[in-house]
Structure 1
């Protein structure tokens, strides 16, 4: 039976309503709200949090993780929950979907996707803004406050000079000197705009150039910025950006996650693009292991067929990932098999979380006995249809619709009614994990 304590989800009513709306409108992981309904992977999240977010990343030590699971098994949900843990430890996050906008065979596309996906650690404002300029601006505003002032026209000159000294200065040995100059110039401009200066057109041009867009202007030329981001300089620019954020801005670590929402053309078997994509992945893994990025956790998430059909043909990549999956006895191996975290008990616990979220969202006092029987009936009907325990994505999609229909008039359903509901509410077969 579902107990009252299990329904107590630590979420505000407004966030609960937003979460419910997201779950009802799209069969995908609910972004920044994912951790509220995450179940079954806390032991993995705890280990990654303790070993990396609270430890090695802050010391400049990087790592690579390979997350494996079928469609609907909760890969995206896991990544979002991991990002929440990272953010709580002041680790910068960048969550990238591999696909048409970011084909993995192009280093320049990877670079652009990361630059526009960077998000500051969680703060009181709870902003959803993303981009490397947002990281720098967020830090400057915070730093002004730490020095006893408020952003605006009245920031003392002494405060401005202290921040200028931190972000400026000669940078010898930057992997990409143009990127180093651009980041320094942008930081100085953002400092000025936070101290009362007006924004200029050249500011937008500079941000676009740093993000990897192909832009040219006299203002950029005056800063010595001639070369746009290309495949041959993209990883150097990424290393430069991370080094700047780490040493000048003092961010303590980075989680950069790549999520294959669907099978991508980048990895078509035997193609030149596939070979280049594998080379790009290997480059990031190897150079990160050698300390060239510094304090970065790279994570790549894909379905089991990618490892069995693609990785198995590339010995070097196979060796980097290994065959031993995460366990309590081996918490630092690269391979994480999320399928092992899914069971009927986990599905029931997800259902309990959803009952709690719906309760907070709509002020519902659930009849626990009735809803416990209903949940079991829905899961049993799903097992009959699928011939296996339902994946989280499948269960969440249907159970949210079921609860939405129960919230006005609660009633027990029969096995036949549960079967009819499950058969009439199948989720889309393609798309991201939920």
Structure 2
């Protein structure tokens, strides 16, 4: 589709504003990450090829390994952005008390609650509606169904069973819930329809009325969560999406759990890997992030030898191989941060007006990085978020005030950051008396 140039320019400016607004708040932008990404070119290519394989019916994964300041969360967001451009449904889940790796049901709940398409967030209902609509359209186009409501409804219900036959052999409840959702929607019984979506998403508050209507006993549990996830992937693929890309972030938090919970978490991880390798999760892609301690520490996966052997990689010096199960992200350095700053200048120029590059020079950028790192023990890897927040403030002042010269007027004052510093940032901050 050819988009008129004025519309392209307007979209580009809107995206630029979103990027700058996010950096001003110290968060990762929702899209346009390729415009400020630095140093990930080879890794992005590997992820893109894996996604192509998954789109063709494979299942795959990647572990992203790096210390604080290596950009794991940014890289994962960028990987999901790549998935979005390939028409994947995406979801980003953080391991937490609400979504512990040791409880597949809780993980499945978080996945269902945070599904995202290029058009919609919290997209489970939209995906199910698109799937059912695609079934109806196919039935009408092939002459297997009729435009007459009753006949089309009967044919569609039969197709629901056929489409999920593999899942229904093990657990018929998903097809029953979808059939009930379809009937309730057509009848205008929206409370039952909403309850059906809630039950599919493993929400805990679904009432008895829906279960009686659907003829379902019980609910999604730890034993069936991955079976339902496989069914969900079949649904979204049938709705026209290439697959599901799931990012599970901050695996290192698992190390703080009690031993039995850690062991269950690592069993969950092993189940996912086994299912992908055995071809039981087609069109599904997993990204996991963790610190080096998670991979090599005594409370990490090293304590589970079969799991460790499958996903560990040998150190290869300067020539790391991102095609291995783990991608090693190096810590941010001054050179990378300078490049990001220059990219942000370009983005800012499209969001507002051209930045005065005689004021915001490369020399000033280096001096600004030096001033900020001086307050954080010289640790460039700790400051990217803080630096970019400060840098956007400088660009704002240059744009707002003609007489403002950052080379003369900029000093880094850390007092206003109190209360918003992350633990890793606070730990290395130099206290001034």
Report the counterpart of residue 283 of structure 1 in structure 2. 271
How far apart, in 2, do the equivalents of 1:328 and 1:176 lie?
Answer: 47
Tell me the alpha carbon deviations over residues 261-292 of structure 1, each in whole angstroms, 9 at most, x when there is no partner. 9x63x431552211111111111111111111
Give how far 1:172 is off.
Answer: 3.2
Separation in structure 2 between the aligned mates of residue 324 and residue 163 of structure 1, nearest angstrom:
55
The answer as to whether partners of 2:62 and 2:286 remain within 8 angstroms in 1 is yes
- 1:109-124 to structure 2, matched below 5 A, reads 109-120=106-117, 122=118
Structure 2: how far apart are the matches of 1:379 and 1:166?
A: 63
Q: Secondary structure at the match of 2:216?
A: coil
Match of 1:411 among 379, 391, 405: 405
Aligned with 1:118: secondary structure? coil
**CA 1:249/1:184 → structure 2, altered by over 3 Å: closer, same or farther?**
farther
Distance in 1 between the 2:116 and 2:181 partners? 17
- Corresponding residue number in structure 2 for 1:18: 18
Equivalents in 2 of 1:146, 1:348: separation in Å? 53
2:31 match: secondary structure: helix
CA distance in 1 between partners of 2:171 and 2:324 (Å): 32
Shift of 1:230: 1.6
Residue 69 in 1 paired to residue 66 in 2?
A: yes
1:258 aligned residue (219, 233, 248): 248
Q: Is the contact made by 1:167 and 1:187 (CA closer than 8 Å) also made in structure 2?
A: no
User: Is the Cα–Cα contact under 8 Å of residues 95 and 250 in structure 2 kept in the other structure?
Assistant: yes
Give 1:251 shift.
3.0
**1:103 touches 1:110 (CA, 8 Å); kept in 2?**
yes
Instruction: Determine helix, strand or coil for the equivalent of 2:175.
Output: helix
Closer/same/farther in 2, CA of residues 355 and 91 from structure 1, 3 Å limit? same
Q: Counterparts of 1:35 and 1:296 in 2: how far apart (Å)?
A: 23
Structure-1 separation of matches of 2:182 and 2:334: 51
Partner of 1:218: 209
Matched residues in 2 for 1:239 and 1:424: separation?
Answer: 49
Q: Which position in structure 1 is the counterpart of 2:96? A: 99
The 8 Å contact of residues 29 and 432 in structure 1, kept in 2 or not, is answered as no
Query: Which structure carries more relative contact order (alpha carbon 8 Å, separation 6+)?
Result: 1
Residue 10 of structure 1, CA deviation: 10
**Structure 2 matches for 1:328-343, cutoff 5 A?**
330-339=321-330, 342-343=332-333
Farther off after superposition, 299-308 or 316-325 = 316-325
Contact 1:119 1:135 in 2 (8 A): no
User: Does residue 1:305 correspond to 2:293, yes or no?
Assistant: yes
CA distance in 2 between counterparts of 1:275 and 1:395 reads 39
The aligned residue for residue 181 of structure 2 is 186
Change beyond 3 A, Cα 1:236–1:147: closer
Specify which of 352, 360, 372 is matched with residue 362 of structure 1: 352
Give the whole-Å Cα distance in 1 for the aligned partners of 2:314 and 2:130: 40
Change (3 A) 1:67 1:251: same
Counterpart CA distance in 2 for 1:86 and 1:40 is 19
Matched, 1:430 2:397: no
Query: d(CA) in 1 for partners of 2:330 and 2:189?
Result: 49
Quick check: 1:241 aligned with 2:232? Answer: yes
- Given the two structures, how large is their TM-score scaled by the length of structure 2? 0.80
* Equivalent position to 1:83, from 76, 80, 88: 80
Instruction: Compute the RMSD of aligned alpha carbons.
Output: 3.5
State the alpha-carbon separation in 2 of the partners of residues 207 and 349 from structure 1. Answer: 46
Q: Name the structure 2 match of 1:53.
A: 51
SS of 1:63's equivalent in the other structure is strand
**Contact 1:119-1:134 within 8 A present in 2 as well:** no
- The CA distance in 1 between the partners of 2:179 and 2:323, in whole Å, is 36
TM-score between the two structures when normalised by the length of structure 1: 0.80
Distance 1:432 1:226 in 2: 47
8 Å Cα contact 1:29-1:77 kept in structure 2: yes
CA contact (8 A) 1:398 1:425 kept: no
- Does the 8 Å contact 1:213/1:228 carry over to 2? no
CA distance in 2, matches of 1:43, 1:163: 48
- Alignment: residue pair count: 400
Alignment gaps of 5+ in structure 2 = 1-8, 426-433
